[in-house]
Amino acid sequence: MKKRLIPLVFVFILSLPFLIWAFIPKTTMDIAIVDKTVPRTDYREHLGLFQILWQQKLVKPNGENYDLGNDYFGYDPYEQAPLPPYNVGDQNLDLIYISDTYGVYSDDIEEKPDGDRSELIYGGMSLEEWNAVMASKGPDTTLIAEYNTFASPTDRKMSRVIQQNLGVTWTGWIGRFFEDFTSDEVPAWLVANYEEQYETPWPFTDSGIAFVHDDDHIIIVETDIMPQFKPTERGSARFEKLRSSSYGYWFDVVTPARNQAILANYHLNVSDQTVKELKRSGLSQTFPAVLHDEKEDIFYFAGDYADYPNRAHMNWVGSTFMFQVFAKDERAFYWRSYVPLMQHILTDIQERNG
């Protein structure tokens, strides 16, 4: 009899984290999410955020879970058509999250994209939408905007208005670390522009960081170390669980326009010579990654932070700790930096708005 019980006890112990999680009460939080870059049904540009909402048991005001395929403003990958524009009526929002406005391009919906710049189907932030976003931001609403809220294909004049509202000034540079400069990950347009600019065939075969300016100017920095995401003193004091990590996806180079607090920086591990070369193009070795306007409660994340490729099953107690311990490569950023950052922010919102 005892022998028969052992497996049951074992199963029970294994199930405990799930059972405890199941009994944690749900909390309502009214959130509006904008994601215009949804060419496929993986919803990867906002999946990273939704996973945290599910894990934290944050639900809609009607008590239902946030639906990854429904509860956002942007593009419907099933219908291949835009969803209704941003409109939240008279709701008292707790959080507005702009995860991506880059949009959907004809190449994105091909079975085998060629990586070249293709025709825009839908994307960019229009003035009307941005007005609706700002009109819906009350005094107790936190606004979080990520990389590419104001970059291409958003109109330049519109971009200036958005930057003013967010309190950041974009230098015009974006960048990304590539593990292998010969892989399919490197966009064809990047290689073509480089070859045209430097009048030489693409010479890079290792890893490095590609910087691309709004005017298509390109700088390649060869390094095998990803940009390091590092909390500042202020950031660590405010968010004690926020950890340093390597960041391996797209980012933009911005400076604070008002008295924003810089909560985290990117740091490039490059030679002094490279630092000098970067400086000639207006780039520096360390630049802001997370900015916070405390008066307006507006965060700017200078990267594609909510982007997560596949669903991680984290609906159990202790999951974030375990994922943090075992996360490696580019996923380490998500677990060690983004998840704690968002958990802190969401907890702050809950405490503030009751």
Partner 1 sequence: MTNRPRLRKLNKFLLWFILLSTFGVGGGILFLLFGVVPIEQSYTDRGWSQYRIDNVMKYYVLGWVVFGFIVSFVYYRFVVRKERWKTAIVLMLSSIALCGFSLHFFLNTGAGLVQQSQGEVVEGERFTFGPYPEKGDMERIKAQGYDGIITLLSPTLPIEKPLLDKERKNAEAVGMDVFSYPMLPWVGDNTDSIEQIRELVANSDKKYYVHCYLGRHRVDIVKQVINEEGGLDYDVMFLQPTTFERGNTYYLPEDQLLLGPYPTDEEWFTRIKRAEVEEVITLLPNDKTKWIDGAQQVAQEMNMTFTHMPLNSDFTKGDLLEIVNYVKQQDHKIFLHRFASKDEILALEALLSWGEAIMHPRDLTINDKPLENVGAKVLIGSEPSEQVEKRLKEAGVNTFRMIGRNASKKTIYQTLLNVKQQKQTAYIYVEVQSAIPRIKQMLYGLLYGNDGKNPAFDGLALTRGSVYNHERNLIVGPVLSKAEYESLAMEHGFAQIIYLHSASVTDTSQLQAIKEQAEHAHIPLHVIDMSEGYESELIDQIEQENGLNYVMTDDELVEYINEFINGY
> Which residues form the interface with partner 1 (CB under 8 A)?
41, 43, 67-71, 78-82, 85-87, 106, 109, 111, 121-122, 127-135, 155, 157-158, 160-162, 164-165
| Nearest-approach distance from CB 86 to partner 1, in angstroms | 8
CB atoms within 10 A of CB 225: 14
Q: How far is CA 320 from CA 67, 190, 253, 326, 348, in A?
A: 21, 36, 29, 10, 18
The residues, any chain, with a CB within 8 Å of residue 198's CB and separated by 6 or more, are: none
* Spatial distance between the Cα atoms of 275 and 268, rounded to a whole number of angstroms: 9
* Spatial distance between the Cα atoms of 38 and 104, rounded to a whole number of angstroms: 7
The Cα angle at residue 269 between residues 267 and 275, in degrees rounded to 5: 85
Which residue, 81 or 237, is less far from partner 1 as judged by CB?
81
Coil/strand/helix, residue 162: helix
Which residue, 148 or 274, is less far from partner 1 as judged by CB?
148
Determine how β-strand 218-222 pairs with β-strand 208-213: antiparallel
| Nearest-approach distance from CB 117 to partner 1, in angstroms | 17
| Nearest-approach distance from CB 78 to partner 1, in angstroms | 4
| Nearest-approach distance from CB 4 to partner 1, in angstroms | 22
Beta-ladder partners of 58:
27
Which residue, 83 or 261, is less far from partner 1 as judged by CB?
83
Nearest to 300 by CA among 184, 188, 182, 151: 151
Which residue, 143 or 341, is less far from partner 1 as judged by CB?
143
Which residue, 16 or 81, is less far from partner 1 as judged by CB?
81
* Spatial distance between the Cα atoms of 310 and 224, rounded to a whole number of angstroms: 25
Q: Which two tokens stand for residue 259?
A: 């008295």
Q: Give yes or no for a contact between 47 and 311, defined as CB atoms under 8 angstroms apart.
A: yes
| Nearest-approach distance from CB 10 to partner 1, in angstroms | 23
| Nearest-approach distance from CB 258 to partner 1, in angstroms | 15
| Nearest-approach distance from CB 104 to partner 1, in angstroms | 10
Which residue, 164 or 281, is less far from partner 1 as judged by CB?
164
Which residue, 43 or 299, is less far from partner 1 as judged by CB?
43
* Spatial distance between the Cα atoms of 114 and 73, rounded to a whole number of angstroms: 27
